[in-house]
Structure 1
Amino acid sequence: MRAVVFEEVGEPMAVQEIERPEPGPDEVVVETEACGICRSDWHAWQGDWDWVGVAPTPGLVFGHEPVGTVTSVGEDVETLAVGDRVCVPFNLSDGTCRYCKQGRANICERVVPLGFVPFQQGAFAEEFPVRNADHNAVKLPDGVDPVDVAGLGCRFATAFHGLVHRVDVTPGDWVAVHGCGGVGLSAVHIADALGANVVAVDLSTDKLEKAVELGADATVDVREVDDVPVAIKKETPGRRGAQVSVDALGVAETCRNSVKSLCKGGQNLQIGLTTSEEEGEVSLPVDSIVMDEREFVGSFGMPPHEYEEIFSMMEQGKIDPGKIVSKTVSLEEVPEVIASMDDYETVGIPVCDEF
């Protein structure tokens, strides 16, 4: 079958012929209908995350935001059948550890990232396998568009889990979103759906305009202000600051700006992962976090059971992941799209839907 295959850090990827996967006892194999193309793929391709154990090896197939149809089923799988349409979280869990049993499968003790390690092929391929399928493969509602579901991906799912389950967003709150890439725009859309007032922050006019389309009430162009946190606070009542601030990029500057944008008692939601420059370490204004009783909260993916909440909101027309999808491409175009992400100019979420 055809797949986009990684060979070496920073070297061009290309479509190659590889063996079709066979399901293990607890696995299913899924024919890919669509798969989001994520900046995380770019980070891994660049070798940015060695310090967290993500070091791609030759022959790896990326792709961690998939939707598709089950084509074969392992002998121990009980809840899935050939022909079922499914989506899959990027952080595959075992369903048995203490965190899985607490409903926090996204931080499973034995989590396996889809498409980032050699023993779990990703979905930039005609087919891909899913381990612990009864737990990880989520059946889709009838009639949903595969491109829309691929738009859920890790970015929309992580933003949803973070804003709905990790911090306290209530109608009328002010939410600042730093960085309007795919995950940032997802956060803008979700915060708006939750009834919050949203301030979108970026240095791209196109991204800020897209943020307004998705519900942002105000924007801050970082090229036009001297102090981003001050500019955000000017938009909030009494210039107090945001109740929730989201760092959707993960560089040192946006992380600090996000924390400094908060009101007293506010919550920083950290979604963006750092680059090779930070290597996971960012200095923060600790004293103000203490004295103003601010909180610093992380969000990593989403447990499978929360997809039902998203599907329900989609059915009611409250959220629409498809609005964040910027374009669809073929499998042959995936390497070029990933390579183009080094300039941060990608607006929205590109999706591969031709395999």
Structure 2
Amino acid sequence: MANGSGVIGELERRIEHLLGLPNPLSFSSGTAGLHAAYLALDLPPGSEVIGPVNTFHASVSPALHCGLNVLLVDVQPDTGNLCPAALEAAITPLTRCVTVTHHLGHPAAMEEITRICRRRGLYLIEDISHAYLSTLNGQPVGTFGDICVGSMQDRKSWSAGEGGLFSSPHPQLRDRAVLAGHYRGRALALDNPELAAYGETGLGLKMRMHPLAAVVGLANAEGLPERLASRRALLERLGRRLVGLPGVRPPVVRPGASMGGWFSYRPQIQLDELRPGVTVDAYLARVQDAGVPAHYPSIGSLAQMPLFSEAVPLRAAARTWRPRRCGPFHGETSYSTGRISVSVAEGDTEETIDAYGDAFADVSRALADGPVAA
């Protein structure tokens, strides 16, 4: 298995076929794949990585262990994705890499971001953990940048129970990623003799996917496009039911963007369209009472987390990990305010979705027209 044969090789071939990613590598987690990605870039200590302020921390936090620093920048108020203008404004002479996530499955503004990175000589990493089979103007996410990484943790739309993937069109970056976590086996067979000389030990880390995880990943590959298409159709149906209701907006999908499967469906409550005194808490409680599996999103802004706002208690990182928050984050505030999440499970039907839509309609009209309950 260490040489990429057997079930590991089968899964990697399936990743290439389904996602259009060249020469993929499996990893023990998406976080491990990102760790390998930052090591593969071979950047000078203290180099900066720019990422969005509202991503999951592991999109950028492995940079800490690679002698790099992180700059958090604002996002677009409609999609929650990295804002190209904020990216451009944050670049310094130390910036070497940009990491984008395709937030909740919506493709980031990759054409603009790619142009900025090419013009400024920056590496571009795509985290597609939320966005399997999403496309932008027909091009699959993960194929715009220098490196693509994805999580296959059990909540992702393509799950291996726990696992991750890495891909790069650049052979040298892929070879370094092999050394980052795949010693022996395929590491001894690298084409680059300078790197192959380290194949016995790699870089001293082991990040390979467990074969049983690969079995799970292969099983969940079956019917993946159909499952995601079904989920997408249901959530688009819900979105149509929400259009025009007072006090709530469906998530934005920009022209040219195709949602792979909506990692999370998050409408936004608009209090200015409801009666004075109505709160998001009150709206959410009523929707829940009506049977909608709705809740607040579970992860907040990275800007509020100590890892990105305070000195970490590790002397090994003291000279390089000095995260900078490039605020103000007006886009993030606009995007996040009033967001709730609706859980749509496998097995839900059009009838289920219509019932959710009816519940939203009843609550919105009641809170727009009727008295506010104490």
TM-score with structure 2 setting the length: 0.30
Q: Which has the larger radius of gyration?
A: 2
Higher helix content, 1 or 2: 2
